[in-house]
Amino acid sequence: MAATHDDAVLIVQLSQLAASLGVNKAVRTILAPAFDPQAVEIDDPDVQTILNFSETIATLVKHDLLDRELVQDWIWLAGFWERLGPAAERARRRIGAPSLYENLEAVVASGG
């Protein structure tokens, strides 16, 4: 699937959503040198913000509603999963929800 004008419009809308959710602040938090992916949990507001926003994007990609290559050029989903995947996996085990953030993990695993 090649990126379309509709994909570009959706990226702009997602960027606006990101701004309203405070994604930029959350990204600064998870990229800070003191951030420990092995210690953080999903009840941390910044972790929730990034995981939920990224899962939204990954779900759109999974269902071919948003171009995968355009997303790869725009946002660092693989890095977000690298930093936050351990917290998501711990939460899955703790609450017995193996599908929690599964679209994000799958899109990252498939190269997206």
With CA atoms as reference, report the closest residue to 81 among 59, 50, 45: 50
pLDDT in tens, 15-66: 999 999 999 999 999 999 999 999 999 999 999 999 999 999 999 999 999 9
Give yes or no for a contact between 54 and 72, defined as CB atoms under 8 angstroms apart: no
Give yes or no for a contact between 50 and 26, defined as CB atoms under 8 angstroms apart: yes
Percent of the chain with pLDDT over 90: 96
Query: For residue 35, what are its two tokens?
Result: 């951030």
* Banded model confidence at residue 2, pLDDT cuts 50, 70, 90: confident
> CA torsion sign, 105 to 109 to 58 to 37?
positive
What is the rounded CA–CA span in Å between residue 95 and residue 57?
Answer: 23
